[in-house]
Amino acid sequence: MKRQENQTPYIQLEEIDKFFGITKALQKINLKIYAGEVIGLVGPNGAGKSTLMKILTGVLSPTAGEISISGKKMERYATKEAKEAGIACAYQDLSLCTNLGVYENFAMLNLSHGIFTRPGWRKDAQKQAKELLENYFPGNNIDVGKPVERLTLAERQIVEICKTLMTDNLKVLILDEPTSALSTDKAEQLHRVVQELSGRGIAVIYISHKLDEIRKVSDRIVLMRNGMNSGECDPDEITTADLVELLGGTGDRSKKREGPGEEIHKGETAARISGYTGKGLYEINMHVDKGEIVGISGLVGSGQTELLNLLFDSRKYPGREKKGVFVNATVSYVSGDREKEGVFHLWDIFDNTIVGNLDQVKKGLFLDKKKSENLAQTWYDKLKFKAEGIHSPIMSLSGGNQQKALIARGIASGAELIILNDPTAGVDIETKQEIYGLLDEAKRAGKAVILYSTEDSEIEICDRAYIMHEGEITEELTGDEITVPNIVRASFKEVKQEKASAEKKETVLNRILTSRVLLPVATMLIMILLNAYMNPRILSYMGVRMLVSSAVPLVFAALGQMFVVVAGDVDMGNGYSIALVNVLVGIVLTGNPLVGVVGLLIFIAAYALMGALIHVRNIPAIVVTLGAQFVWYGIALVIAPSPGGSCPEWLSAIYRFEFPVVPMPVILCAAAGVFCWFVLFRAKYGMVLRGIGNNPAAVERSGWSYLQAKVTNYALSGLMVVLAGTVYTAVCSGADANSSVSYCMLSIATVILGGCEMAGGIVAPGGVVCGGIAMSLITTVLTSFRVDSNYQTAVTGLILIGVLAIRLITHKKEVR
Amino acid sequence: MKKAMARYTFIWPLLGSVLLWIAISAVSGRFNAGQIFSSARLCTFALLLALGQMVVVTSGEGAIDLSQQYILTLAAYLSCDLMKYNIVLGLVAAVGAGALCGLVNGLVNIYLKVPAMITTLATGYIIFTIVLVISPGMTTLPNSDFVNFISLNVGGFSMLTVISIVTALLLGLLLYKTKYGKQLHAVGQKRVAAGYAGINTNRVVITAFTLGGALCGLSGTLCGAFNGGAFQDMGSTYFLPSIAAAFVGGTAASGGKSSVAGVCVGALMMYLLTTFLNAASLSVGMQRLIQGAVLVLILIASVSNDTKKK
């Protein structure tokens, strides 16, 4: 929607400066955003686009300058104000919790933060999510109940964008490289969404390096360079080539082929694939010769990365053909995903460059400083880094300069075949040109280069190109045939082969087999059967009570461990913290109930504090809890230097209460499991508790406090430890600071057997309860089989490894 | 200043050591460098474990070796038993057994894809069982010649301290001057990136575990001789000080960053702390409490923000 004359801008940024120390990220930036307008924001990397957006969303505050909303000057402008003004941003790095369902990710954003919600909110949230997705991206077929981690990258991007669109009172939407993972048809759907939003009076800021796209969607193009405004233009009156020129590129790519006269010596084959099928690839036939640049293109996710990885992995068998893949060269790999696959963040440019081939800088056994520095310096000069020298930390560089270091690593390694996986993603035009130059030089030096790019026009610099679609190579283009229209045409070409539908129906059997609770439940049942086989009398009321009774403390201990594990941490000190509770209950509480209760409350608060400490100071939980265990142990020893005490009578009365039909210990276990399940999976805050174990940033962006959630997790864990210690006191009717140490290792083992992921986010309370019972029955079984008690610890160890090995096999599909 | 702190991570434990030494002197009423020498001697075993831990943790992705204390015990038994035939045989067998345990840890971690913490927890159980099963039939008294050797005094330094220093120097050379060291630090920062940089990440990680295990083996050998024999839970004493020394000394828990000097000073500091608590004649409970609290406080103070966990 074009704006009318004399309209007041919705938001106006005036003379914005942002300095980080001496670095001037933004200088005197002016930006007016009118309601309903689509602004295409373009600029080379390091132009300050992201910084400007962070100021607009209130994440950063400007060093100087004014921000006004609807003509009113804002005195204070932070995330809260930005949110109230209806500004939302779909982030380039996805901000979803992948362990939560699609609808939960949406719900986290728009549910009230109160403790209680009306029942049935989950159903409504699911319906809303479905409608929302269908509304903006018709025919997406996304199952909103599925955890995000099971979606494809493109589906996730759609969910991400829709999540942003959900912001109520949305006035300004920022899309940062929104189409990087989307196929052309989905990108077009997005463009329609942008048009529709604009029609509803919502302003859209569209950031992209894809200039054609920018020209197509925007009403006005704003250019930035070096942290300053560098003009505006009307998309209808400017060509892409002009834009490239304005941004600092030469814009004229036709210069690249220097007359047909020049002979480049074509070398032998560096790599060849004939008739390869597998790993998402079908009937691949291709080859790369030394002295040429071969492009790989096609729609994103058509198997290009798999192809590159196949070639890279085959370097281990040089000169031998394996399954139709033949590589006869040393290979290096340059990834465009700097964050995940590229830079070593603790190092400087120097180390990041030389690590690609350390053999060439060796002198005898040791690395030679001079040789390494010469090598790094040569490439530093050649690539015209914008940095203080080869010893500048890599993280102080802009994305483009980081990429230069990676390319230097790839080429400096001396490899004969250089594989580049989208090396120019998020790199500005100037750097891109330099990279093309380097590739050309490598080619002249007789190296083979494979370039996969998501930007079709980039393939034009190649000598030959393979275009892929759905895991097949649909066309090979050579020389002047390599044009964007040809690439696009081939990208959509029908594939020859009919493939088995990738999306397998989730059968009931399949779901049971991959269920996280299958293993603990099965183990528990087997243990019960074995026990019953050895001693049939245990299947009575009293028998079950006796068997399960000793398992209850472990069940609680493991549930406590689970609340820490869900946050991605681990509690190495719960063996001694249970002992402390044991002492508090057995000695203090028995003597003076009031002091005892206060003591236990302080204990829970101490656990919460520990969580806060781990979060605020960012120290690894494993170390803090290890240290804390000595604090627990020390206090316990001070209170009870030697074993003693007794169990309060009311406690043993409860514990020994003869419940009809089902014995008390079983009820306790079940109640504990249901409680934890409810907290984590039914209660609203459970989403947050699980979310922080997966993607804390996403939780925070949805408006929840990470600190608060972490403290809650630890407090809940503390509560479970208190229950574990209390029950333990009832079981052994006494207090001893030393006797419950083994619960630490056992609880970790139980949590794993129960189906939780140590990485955080994924837990299964039901599984943990069954796992706890199973673990404690193992001991009984071993005793009744007359296994030497010495071997019992080893059995626990073997079970641990066995469980994880089994899970590796059954859950292989989920591992990405 | 801040830069120097980040680079020379041993500054914090060094500061702590000096403070503790002053505190000890204040409690005992006289300044005495002897306490530093005796702490340096006593910290040998935890120090060797801590160096091993550092190597393992530096390989990244949450790698940690919780089986160290059991490896130490196993090595102590083996060395005591075999040294009655031959000292070198005992030493080689103990260190070799340690390396073998580490190798198994590495193999399970890499090829069965079991997280390192769980792997080593489990192998720790198994190694402990092995100790329980084989120990009744073994000689638990150390070889007297070997005991005499480690009790030697070299220019004022205990032989144990000399061994620590030599080991630390060799390890420093390996970690900071060789190809393997560079690769280990790369793998620890980002395994995927290291793989794409052409590094055989599996081999690097498994080697780290093996090296860590060998150091535990060496520690166990010395420990058995020093304590006048092996006993079943001898390793547990060194568990906390070694972990503490490793992290206080500047090992990044997320991997990719290590400091041999830092870990050495860190181990020394932990033993000065023990000496101080003993000198102040506190009850065991209070000692533990203070030890734990001090450790947590030091961590809060020393773990800088650039070593954030992922």
Chain B residues with CB under 8 Å of A419 CB are none
pLDDT at residue B306, as a whole number: 43
Q: Provide the chain B residues 223-262 that lie in CB contact (below 8 A) with chain A.
A: 240, 243-244, 247, 252-254, 256-257
pLDDT (mean) for A356-383: 88
First to last CA, chain B: 26
Confidence of residue A494 (pLDDT cuts 50, 70, 90): low
Tokens read off for A215? 């020209």
Task: Write out the E strands in A290-423.
Answer: 292-298, 321-322, 325-327, 331-335, 362-363, 366-367, 417-421
Side chain identity at residue A83, one-letter code: K
- Residue contact A791–B133, C-beta within 8 A: yes
Which of the 8 DSSP states describes residue A10?
A: S
pLDDT at residue A255, as a whole number: 40
For residue A729, the cross-strand partners are none
Chain B residues with CB under 8 Å of A806 CB are none
Residues 6+ positions from A392 with CB-CB distance below 8 Å: A348, A349, A385
- Residue contact B192–A341, C-beta within 8 A: yes
pLDDT (mean) for A35-55: 82
Closest-CA distance, B43 to chain A, in angstroms, reads: 18
- Residue contact B118–A758, C-beta within 8 A: yes
pLDDT (mean) for A724-745: 89
Side chain identity at residue B48, one-letter code: L
Contact A750, A503 (CB under 8 A): no
Pick the residue with more confidence: B53 or A234? B53
- Residue contact A635–B289, C-beta within 8 A: yes
Of all helices (H) and strands (E), which one includes residue A701?
helix A696-701
Q: What is the pLDDT of residues A419-460, one digit of tens each?
A: 999 888 767 777 888 888 888 988 888 899 999 987 777 888
pLDDT (mean) for A727-741: 89
Tokens read off for B86? 């031959």
What ipTM was estimated for this complex?
Answer: 0.87
Contact A564, A621 (CB under 8 A): yes
Contact A714, A564 (CB under 8 A): yes
Average pLDDT, rounded, for chain A? 84
- Residue contact A627–B244, C-beta within 8 A: yes
Low-confidence ranges of chain B (pLDDT < 50): 1, 305-310
Closest-CA distance, B268 to chain A, in angstroms, reads: 17
Q: What is the pLDDT of residues A282-340, one digit of tens each?
A: 888 999 999 999 999 877 677 888 999 999 998 888 888 888 888 888 999 998 888 88
Q: What is the pLDDT of residues A613-629, one digit of tens each?
A: 989 887 888 888 988 98
Contact A38, A22 (CB under 8 A): no
Percent of chain A residues past pLDDT 70, beyond the cut: 90
Distance CA B11, CA B266 (A): 10
Of all helices (H) and strands (E), which one includes residue A465?
strand A464-469
pLDDT at residue B218, as a whole number: 96
Chain A residues with CB under 8 Å of B291 CB are 630, 634
Mutate to test the interface with B, among A804, A809, A814 (most CBs of B within 10 A): A804
pLDDT at residue A83, as a whole number: 82
Distance CA A356, CA A340 (A): 17
Q: Provide the chain B residues 92-111 that lie in CB contact (below 8 A) with chain A.
A: 108
Chain A residues with CB under 8 Å of B263 CB are none
CA nearest to A419 within chain B: B196
Task: Write down the residue that tokens 């957006």 correspond to.
Answer: A53
CB nearest to A623's CB, from B186, B190, B299: B299
By mean pLDDT, which of A117-121, A803-807, B69-73 is the weakest? A117-121
Distance CA A663, CA A549 (A): 9
Tokens read off for A476? 């090979």
Task: Write down the residue that tokens 């994924």 correspond to.
Answer: A762
Closest-CA distance, B262 to chain A, in angstroms, reads: 17
CA-wise closest residue to B53 among B181, B233, B226, B243:
B243
Which of the 8 DSSP states describes residue A682?
A: I
Closest-CA distance, B114 to chain A, in angstroms, reads: 6
User: Residue A93 pLDDT more than 70?
Assistant: no
Distances (CA, A) of A115 to A103, A118, A698, A708, A720: 19, 10, 20, 13, 20
- Residue contact A358–B132, C-beta within 8 A: no
> How buried is A374 (Cβ within 10 angstroms: 0-12 exposed, 13-18 middle, 19+ buried)?
exposed
Tell me whether B134 touches chain A (CB under 8 Å). Answer: no
- Residue contact B118–A752, C-beta within 8 A: yes
| Side-by-side strand order, sheet with A292-298 | A331-335, A417-421, A448-452, A292-298, A464-469, A472-478
Contact B63, B262 (CB under 8 A): no
- DSSP assignment of chain B equals -HHHHHH-TTHHHHHHHHHHHHHHHHHHTS--THHHHHHHHHTHHHHHHHHHHHHHHHT-TT---TTHHHHHHHHHHHHHHHTTT-HHHHHHHHHHHHHHHHHHHHHHHHHS---HHHHHHHHHHHHHHHHHHHGGGS--SPPHHHHHHHT-EETTEEHHHHHHHHHHHHHHHHHHHBHHHHHHHHHHH-HHHHHHTT--HHHHHHHHHHHHHHHHHHHHHHHHHHTTS--TTTTHHHHHHHHHHHHHTT--TTSS---HHHHHHHHHHHHHHHHHHHHTT--HHHHHHHHHHHHHHHHHHHS-GGG---
Distance CA B128, CA B141 (A): 19
Please indicate, yes or no, whether the overall pTM of this predicted structure exceeds 0.90.
no
Tokens read off for A98? 């992948």
CA-wise closest residue to B120 among B186, B71, B67, B182:
B67
Distance CA A750, CA A554 (A): 8
Distance CA A275, CA A781 (A): 55
Chain A residues with CB under 8 Å of B122 CB are 749, 796-798, 800-801
pLDDT at residue A251, as a whole number: 39
Q: Across A173-177, A354-358, B149-153, B170-174, which has the greatest mean pLDDT?
A: B170-174
Chain B residues with CB under 8 Å of A409 CB are 197
Which of the 8 DSSP states describes residue A708?
A: H
Side chain identity at residue B26, one-letter code: A
Chain B residues with CB under 8 Å of A805 CB are 112, 114
Tell me whether B293 touches chain A (CB under 8 Å). Answer: yes
pLDDT at residue B202, as a whole number: 96
Distance CA A360, CA A412 (A): 10
Pick the residue with more confidence: A780 or A491? A780
Closest-CA distance, A582 to chain B, in angstroms, reads: 16
Q: What is the pLDDT of residues A370-393, one digit of tens each?
A: 889 999 998 888 888 877 888 888
Distance CA A215, CA B145 (A): 85
Contact A606, A718 (CB under 8 A): yes
pLDDT at residue B157, as a whole number: 87
Phi, psi for residue A25 in degrees, rounded to 5: -75, -40
Closest-CA distance, B68 to chain A, in angstroms, reads: 15
Percent of chain A residues past pLDDT 90, beyond the cut: 22
Q: Provide the chain B residues 152-211 that lie in CB contact (below 8 A) with chain A.
A: 173, 177-179, 182-183, 185-186, 189-190, 192-194, 196-199
CA nearest to B124 within chain A: A797
Distance CA A767, CA A775 (A): 12
Tokens read off for A238? 């400017």
Phi, psi for residue A307 in degrees, rounded to 5: -65, -45
3-state secondary structure string, A542-561?
A: HHHHHHHHCCHHHHHHHHHH
User: Residue A500 pLDDT more than 60?
Assistant: no
Tokens read off for B162? 């000399």
Domain boundaries, chain B: 39-309
- Residue contact A794–B130, C-beta within 8 A: yes
CA nearest to A639 within chain B: B285
Chain A residues with CB under 8 Å of B193 CB are 335, 340-344
Query: Nearest-5° angle of CA A626, CA A628, CA A631?
Result: 130
Side chain identity at residue A492, one-letter code: F
- Residue contact B121–A745, C-beta within 8 A: yes
Q: What is the pLDDT of residues A128-172, one digit of tens each?
A: 888 888 888 877 778 888 888 888 777 888 888 888 887 778 889
Tell me whether B310 touches chain A (CB under 8 Å). Answer: no
Quick check: helix, strand or coil at residue A142? coil
Neighbours of A675 (CB within 10 A): 16
CB nearest to B189's CB, from A345, A624, A630: A345
Chain A residues with CB under 8 Å of B192 CB are 340-341
Tell me whether B63 touches chain A (CB under 8 Å). Answer: no
Of all helices (H) and strands (E), which one includes residue A287?
strand A281-289
Q: Residue A65: left if φ>0, alpha if ψ -120 to 50, beta else—which one?
A: left
Phi, psi for residue A737 in degrees, rounded to 5: -70, -10
pLDDT at residue A250, as a whole number: 44
Mutate to test the interface with B, among A402, A801, A811 (most CBs of B within 10 A): A801
CB nearest to B190's CB, from A344, A624, A636: A344
User: Residue A814 pLDDT more than 50?
Assistant: no
CA nearest to B67 within chain A: A797
**Check: CATH 3.30.70 for B39-309?**
no
Closest-CA distance, B148 to chain A, in angstroms, reads: 34
Chain A residues with CB under 8 Å of B289 CB are 630-631, 633-635, 637-638
What is the β-pairing status of strands A38-42 and A203-207? parallel
- Residue contact A344–B126, C-beta within 8 A: no
User: CB contacts < 8 Å between A and B, how many?
Assistant: 213
Closest-CA distance, A43 to chain B, in angstroms, reads: 28
- Residue contact A622–B115, C-beta within 8 A: no
Tokens read off for A128? 């809303």
CB nearest to B300's CB, from A357, A619, A638: A619
CB nearest to B295's CB, from A627, A637, A737: A627
